[in-house]
Amino acid sequence: MNTFDSGGHLTDAALQAFLSGGPLTELERLEIAEHLDFCDACLLRSMERMPCEVLLTPAHSCQRTLWPRIHRRSARELAGRIATAAAAIAIAASLWCFNVFGGLVTGSAALSDSALSALRQADFPQQAQQFDRTLDARFARLSALFEFGEEAAD
Ligand SMILES: [Zn+2]
């Protein structure tokens, strides 16, 4: 029995044998199941050939109970988001009332004060020269230490 036709789809005989539990090898069953996994046309053909008693119908429809549950859950999630946003706004408002942001603004303004920055800019070359002199002194001590070590090794 040919499992596939020239178009690469399942033959009617293979489909009928698969659905009725006919004589198929394990490899043929596996190939048919794999093909039904990705081929919608053959899947529809197999669904049309299935006997009605194979298709199970639920004892009761969940349509009436499912939509209200979905609506309740989405309303709960929306309420949670609104509560989070309200809490963030309340925290920001209380920080604003205690003038936390005003303290940040005045501190920032004090840091960027022009007189202070001019003083720092005028002082910078002097500080750089002092740093350079300190660094020179440290390197001189370090090199003297190694020269002493070399003389001691000789
Ligand atoms: Zn197919």
CA of 29 to the centre of ligand 1 (A): 14
pTM: 0.37
CA of 57 to the centre of ligand 1 (A): 26
CA of 52 to the centre of ligand 1 (A): 22
- Can you tell me the distance from the alpha carbon of 12 to that of 18, in angstroms, rounded to the nearest whole number? 10
From residue 87, alpha-carbon distances to 58, 79, 80, 81, 101 in Å are: 45, 12, 10, 10, 18
Cβ atoms 17, 1 nearer than 8 A: yes
pLDDT for the residue 76: 96
CA of 40 to the centre of ligand 1 (A): 7
Cβ atoms 23, 17 nearer than 8 A: yes
Q: Which helix (H) or strand (E) holds 82?
A: helix 63-97
CA of 27 to the centre of ligand 1 (A): 17
Taking 50 as the pLDDT cut, the residues of the chain under it are: 152-153
Cβ atoms 16, 50 nearer than 8 A: no
